[in-house]
Structure 1
Amino acid sequence: MSTTAAHTPVADPHEHTAGFATAFNSGDPDAVVATMAPEAVFVRAPGDPVTGADARQAVADFLALGLPMQIADRHVYVADDTALVIADWLVEGDGPDGTPLRLEGSSTDVLRRGADGLWRSIIDNPHGTTAA
């Protein structure tokens, strides 16, 4: 996995969302995966969590839309080495087939500070509390 400084985990959990947006908007699945812990869970649809290669593929599939993401924290709660981030996001534009597309939601993400002092997501749930 290759990363640049813009796509590495952050030292402050309040900066994670901005770093994630930079990674997402780069269009590089490895950049997004670099913001996640190796054992992270990505929820590709409500009730459908995936890990490992399946998580990377789910990220790649989302990025294949070719549209930028706007995202902003609503809340960041930190307790020791764990943080809960609630963020509102929007992906909007013309999809790969030219059809207008608008996806939005409020994500619920759990971050953990690693031994290196950097924060990575361990649960990335873009669907938040959306029912299954």
Structure 2
Amino acid sequence: MPNFNANVSKLARQPEDCSRVLVAALESGDIETSVALYETSAVLFKKSGEVMTGLDAIRENNAGVIALKPKFTIAFITATLSGDGTLATNRMKAELAFTKPDGQLVKTNVDTLEVLRKQEDGSWRYIIDDPYGSMRAGMKDR
């Protein structure tokens, strides 16, 4: 299986890099990079479907994820660009493993649906990030 995190820079130069950089930041505990990948008014969905808006909410969420010391195994990342090249969607399928505070090992799937916008400097940032978006229809309310 390819190593999707090898030589990851902190800037997303291609839409699919957002997923790679985010995963690397969450695994390494780099909260600043994990938040810098989002536009100021971006939205991030919780597993429950609740929407968090803005960088403060995203920072709080990502700090909670980092505290779990997550490990991702990425199966694939697929990006689709808009005709003018300014917007993109990403899908990432990955397994997420982490240890709960009580010591229980948890393994779950992440099947993202992401919307990104190209920035003036040529990098990409999230405007909508739903880590469970591609599988949400099959999920029960939690």
TM-score bracket for this pair, using the shorter chain length: 0.7 to 0.9
Q: Percent identity?
A: 28
CA contact (8 A) 2:37 2:125 kept: yes
Unaligned runs of 5+ in 1: 1-5
Partner of 1:81: 86
1: distance between equivalents of 2:39 and 2:27? 19
1: distance between equivalents of 2:74 and 2:125? 17
Q: Across the two proteins, how many residue pairs are aligned to each other?
A: 128
Task: Tell me, yes or no, if structure 1 residue 59 matches structure 2 residue 62.
Answer: yes
Which has the larger strand fraction?
1
Partner of 2:114: 109
CA contact (8 A) 2:26 2:65 kept: no
Task: Tell me, yes or no, if structure 1 residue 94 matches structure 2 residue 99.
Answer: yes
Partner of 1:3: none
**RMSD between aligned residues:** 2.1
Partner of 1:40: 42
Give the partner amino acid of 1:102.
K
Q: 1:91 to 1:77 in 2, by over 3 A?
A: same
Q: 1:105 to 1:75 in 2, by over 3 A?
A: same
2: distance between equivalents of 1:67 and 1:14? 20
2: distance between equivalents of 1:97 and 1:77? 40
Unaligned runs of 5+ in 2: 1-7
Give the partner amino acid of 2:79.
V
Out of 20-29 and 66-75, give the one that drifted further: 66-75
1: distance between equivalents of 2:89 and 2:118? 12
Partner of 2:125: 120
Deviations 1:78-120 (A, max 9, x none): 1121010011122214333211211212000111101111101
| TM-score relative to the length of structure 2 | 0.78
CA contact (8 A) 1:7 1:22 kept: no
2: distance between equivalents of 1:40 and 1:50? 8
